[in-house]
């Protein structure tokens, strides 16, 4: 344990966050996401919510300011039509920690899965929220 760092950030997760470079991506995946089959590096976050992890990680994790959309969510797939309330939670947390306007990219499911295959790491959470997956592109520490 370290002072000022949430106990939700495991030693494995902090190591991965520190190893990531500018432009690397990380996925915080909900419980339904095929994390094991998609991950180059898999970090278990069983029992944790993505909201709690974002609140713990974002004070330390700069988003990429050199791209238009450093955050991506999985777009609703038919027949789903109801925009998840969880997305508003994400936007609020991201807004607290990102400098400047923030655009969030909505990706088709297959494109989101493809990007996750190339992500630096995937954090598999126990979050049961529908469309809870979120992809973050790391920026530079200023």
* Catalytic positions, written as ranges: 22
54 Cβ contact partners less than 8 Å away, ≥ 6 residues apart:
28, 90, 93, 94, 134
Pairwise CA distance, residues 93 & 103, whole Å = 13
Distance between alpha carbon 26 and the CA centroid of its chain, in Å? 6
């Amino acid at each position: 344990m370290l002072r000022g760092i949430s106990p939700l950030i495991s030693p494995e997760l902090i190591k991965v966050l520190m190893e990531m470079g500018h432009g690397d991506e990380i996925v915080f995946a909900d419980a339904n996401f095929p994390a094991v089959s998609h991950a180059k590096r898999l970090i278990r976050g069983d029992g944790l919510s993505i909201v709690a992890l974002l609140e713990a990680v974002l004070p330390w994790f700069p988003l990429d300011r050199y791209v238009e959309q450093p955050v991506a969510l999985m777009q609703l797939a038919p027949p789903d039509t109801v925009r998840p309330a969880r997305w508003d939670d994400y936007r609020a947390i991201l807004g607290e920690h990102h400098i400047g306007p923030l655009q969030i990219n909505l990706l088709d499911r297959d494109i989101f899965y493809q990007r996750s295959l190339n992500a630096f790491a995937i954090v598999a959470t126990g979050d049961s929220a529908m469309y809870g997956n979120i992809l973050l592109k790391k920026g530079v520490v200023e």
